[in-house]
Amino acid sequence: MEIRRVSESGFGVREVAPEEIKRAIYAVEKAIDLMPDKIGFLTEHKFVHDVYARLIFVPKNSILTGKIHVHDDLLVIASGIVAFKNEHEERLFDASQRPIMTVVKANTKPVLFAHTDSWMFNAHSNFNRHETPEEIEKEVIVPNRPGEFAKELN
């Protein structure tokens, strides 16, 4: 994996270990939590048979971190341009002409940046037929573990 950056020393490329990327994403999450003007995102939840789906609107220039999922899950960028990064991949999704569908791998910590107003949709299996987002999260979300990186974040 390559990380590109512009710094005082110029433009450079260096290899970065997945754990270092995950630490950086947790640091972004911690910084977001400290912001006094955080915004919530417009979300809509649906439960149909064995499927839980969530629709989310992410305003232009927003940064958000995602939760770690137990299983791979479906992500659809319905509209907009979104930069996506986790410890294993980095992609720019341009859904300005048509929706884009991808799979987010289990046990990864994502960070996203919305270059434009964006609509996203993700889906999870719901075999136990839960009826609230809180119930489904107990099954599909790995508890957040910033403590693993606590000394680096302090």
Q: How many domains does the chain have?
A: 1
Q: 1 CB contacts (<8 Å, ≥6 apart)?
A: 15, 16, 18, 21, 88, 89, 90
Position 152 scores a pLDDT of 46
pLDDT of residue 15: 73
pLDDT tens by residue, the chain, 154 residues: 444 454 555 565 667 788 899 999 999 999 888 887 777 789 999 999 899 999 999 999 999 999 999 999 999 999 999 999 999 999 999 999 999 999 999 999 999 999 999 999 999 999 999 999 999 999 999 987 655 554 444 4
Q: Please give the pLDDT value at position 87.
A: 92
Q: Which domain holds residue 148?
A: 2-153
pTM: 0.80
Residues facing residue 43 across a β-bridge: 56
| Residues 6 or more apart whose Cβ sits within 8 Å of residue 12 | 4, 5
**Residue 19 belongs to domain with CATH number:** 2.60.120.10
Q: What is the pLDDT of residue 33?
A: 85
In terms of DSSP bridges, do strands 118-125 and 51-58 run parallel, antiparallel, or are they unpaired? antiparallel
pLDDT at position 81 is 98
Q: How far apart are CA 70 and CA 141, in angstroms?
A: 6
* Predicted local distance difference test score (pLDDT) of residue 2: 46
Q: Is the dihedral of CA 104, 106, 83, 6 positive or negative?
A: negative
Coil, strand or helix at 36 = coil
106 to 68, 91, 141: CA distances (angstroms): 7, 17, 9
**pLDDT for the residue 40:** 77
Residue 143, pLDDT score: 83
